[in-house]
Amino acid sequence: MSAAPGADVAASTAHETWHSTVRGFGARWLPSLAIVAGIIVVWEGYVRVFDIEKWLLPAPSAVVATIGDSAGMLARHSWVTLEEIAVGFALALAAGVVLASAIGLSRTVERALYPFVIASQTIPIIVIAPMLLIWVGYGLAPKVIVVALISFFPIVVNMADGLKSADPDVVALMRTLGANRWQVFVKIQAPTSLPYLFSGMRVAIAVSVIGAVIGEWVGSSEGLGYLMIRSKPQFLTERVFAAIVILSAMGVGLFALVGIVERFALPWQRGTRGQQGI
43-60 tens-digit pLDDT? 989 888 888 888 888 989
Q: Torsions phi, psi of 138, nearest 5?
A: -80, 175
Whether 79 and 11 share a structural domain: no
Residue 13: what pLDDT? 57
Residue 172: what pLDDT? 85
Whether the pLDDT of residue 160 is over 70: the answer is yes
**Which percentage of the chain shows pLDDT scores above 90?**
37
Whether 36 and 80 share a structural domain: no
* Boundary residue ending a domain (17, 33, 51): 51
**Which percentage of the chain shows pLDDT scores above 70?**
86
Q: How many separate domains does the chain show?
A: 2
Whether the pLDDT of residue 21 is over 70: the answer is no
Whether the pLDDT of residue 205 is over 90: the answer is yes
* Boundary residue ending a domain (13, 31, 51): 51
Residue 272: what pLDDT? 54
For residues 192-208, average pLDDT: 93
Whether the pLDDT of residue 19 is over 70: the answer is no
Mean pLDDT (the chain, rounded): 84
Residue-wise pLDDT for 207-239, tens only, equals 999 989 988 888 777 889 999 999 888 888 999
- Averaging pLDDT over each range in 180-189, 252-261, 262-271, which range is the top one? 252-261
Q: What is the C-alpha to C-alpha distance for residues 11 and 36, in angstroms, rounded to an integer?
A: 36
Residue 245: what pLDDT? 93
Whether the pLDDT of residue 131 is over 60: the answer is yes
Residue 119: what pLDDT? 84
Whether the pLDDT of residue 162 is over 50: the answer is yes
Whether 175 and 120 share a structural domain: yes
Q: pTM of the entire structure? A: 0.81
Residue-wise pLDDT for 80-102, tens only, equals 999 999 999 999 999 999 999 99
Q: Torsions phi, psi of 165, nearest 5?
A: -85, 0
Whether 46 and 157 share a structural domain: no
Whether 41 and 76 share a structural domain: no
Whether the pLDDT of residue 198 is over 90: the answer is yes
**CATH number of the domain that 64 lies in?**
1.10.3720.10
Whether 125 and 3 share a structural domain: no
Whether 35 and 99 share a structural domain: no
Contacts of 101 (CB under 8 A, 6+ apart): 159, 163, 185, 190
Whether the pLDDT of residue 276 is over 90: the answer is no
Whether 44 and 168 share a structural domain: no
Query: What does the DSSP assignment read for the chain?
Result: -PPPHHHHHHHHHHHHHHHHHHHHHHHHHHHHHHHHHHHHHHHHHHHHHTT--TTTS--HHHHHHHHHHTHHHHHHHHHHHHHHHHHHHHHHHHHHHHHHHHHHH-HHHHHHHHHHHHHTTSS-HHHHHHHHHHHH-SSHHHHHHHHHHHHHHHHHHHHHHHHHTS-HHHHHHHHHTT--HHHHIIIIIHHHHHHHHHHHHHHHHHHHHHHHHHHHHHS-SSSHHHHHHHHTTTT-HHHHHHHHHHHHHHHHHHHHHHHHHHHHH-THHHHHHHHHH-
Q: pLDDT-based confidence at 268, cuts 50/70/90? A: confident
Whether 29 and 72 share a structural domain: no
Q: What is the C-alpha to C-alpha distance for residues 70 and 68, in angstroms, rounded to an integer?
A: 6
Residues 12, 17, 22, 23, Cα dihedral to 10°: 100
Among 50, 48, 64, residue whose Cα is nearest residue 239:
64
Whether 170 and 86 share a structural domain: yes
Q: What is the C-alpha to C-alpha distance for residues 87 and 145, in angstroms, rounded to an integer?
A: 9
Whether 115 and 39 share a structural domain: no
Residue-wise pLDDT for 114-127, tens only, equals 888 888 888 788 88
Whether 7 and 114 share a structural domain: no
Q: What residue numbers bound the domain in which 126 lies?
A: 59-277
